[in-house]
Structure formats: C-alpha cells, structure tokens
Amino acid sequence: MRRNNKQSGGKGRVRKNEEITVSEVRLIDEEGKQLGVYETGKALYIARGKDLDLVEISPVAEPPVCKIMDFGAYLYQKKKDQKEQKKAQKAHSQKEIKFGIRISDNDFNVRIKKAIKFLEKGASVKVILQFKGREFTHPEIGLKRIEEMALALEKIAKQEFPPKSQGRSIVTEFRPLSKKER
C-alpha cells in the first residue's frame, strides 16, 4: 500500500500523532529499541503516556515506522544539522576569475587582489584565461600571464594542477594553503 505525497502531507513533511492515519505501525521507543507492530491508536496511547509524540520516520515501509520522541527537540536538531551542512558547504566553495591575454596590468592586479580575497576566505580559485579570435596561436603569452598570477599567489595558495588547455582557454586552480603549509 503506497501513499502519494498528498496523503503523506507533501514532500519532506513529517506526520505526527493524529496525522498518522494508517491502521498499524512498527513502533520504536525513545531509546531506539523496537517494540514491534502496534495499532496506531495503541502506539499513540503509549507515546502520550510518556509525554512524548508519535512521529512517522519511514512512511514508505510496510507497516510505516514510527518513533516515540519529543517532536520539538527533533525539529530543533534537524534545523541545527541543516545549518551545519550549509556552513560546511560554503567552506568548500570555488570562485572563478576570468580574463584575456590582452588585459591591462592594472586590471590584472585587480584580479590578483580579488583572488587573494577569495583565498583568504577559504575558497579555492579557478583561473580561466580566455583567448579570442587568433590569440590562441600564441598560448605562451597566456601561460606567462598565469605564471605571473601563480607567483603573486605563491605565499597564500598552492596551484592544484599545471595550466591546461580547455577549448579556447587555459585553466588552472589555486587552493588556499593551510596554516601548516605557510
């Protein structure tokens, strides 16, 4: 007996207490021990007796799995975990810096300063040097520019891989040095 999202309250929605409409559930107590299969009413009675909620944790199982827990604490912990995941995800971000081989020295220095700012915040920096028209016939000029950037960033970053050609551009990546590497 499968339920669609409308019956289960929508995607990601957790049903609790009277919202659980199936006839029987597999019950897990607050310590994580399996108590067996119970009628929903009896499972709800057991949860209320302990001043806790009956929460459906696996609606697609046969019968659905419900756990006795404090629903408010569960939501708080879930929100806290999501925040931690988001924070960890931001720490591993990657920024891109693009420029051509005919970039002026001042603009090139601005790109270097921006790369330094990104690296100091902990992000890795992908450097893309783009060729336009017939410029690609002189890749040595592009490689020289990337080498200049590598020299400017060598005290705070490590070049992940040597510059490599990708279509009409040359690409390399820098990652911030750890405190041990500095």
- Tens of pLDDT, residue by residue over 90-119, are 656 889 999 999 999 999 999 999 999 999
CA distance 132 to 6: 53
**What confidence score (pLDDT) does residue 180 get?**
76
The residue extents of the domains of the chain are: 17-83, 92-176
Q: Which helix (H) or strand (E) holds 119?
A: helix 105-120
CA distance 67 to 43: 9
Give the closest residue to 100 by CA, choosing from 67, 154, 138.
138
**Residue labelled with tokens 């720490």:** 91
Q: How would CATH label the architecture of 92-176? A: 2-Layer Sandwich (3.30)
pLDDT, tens digit (0-9, with 9 covering 90-100), for 24-77 = 999 998 888 898 999 989 999 999 999 999 999 888 888 899 999 998 888 898
**What confidence score (pLDDT) does residue 90 get?**
62
Query: Which residues make beta-bridge pairs with 175?
Result: 158
CA distance 15 to 58: 10
Residue 156 DSSP code: T
Question: Is the domain 17-83 a CATH 3.10.20.80 member?
Answer: yes
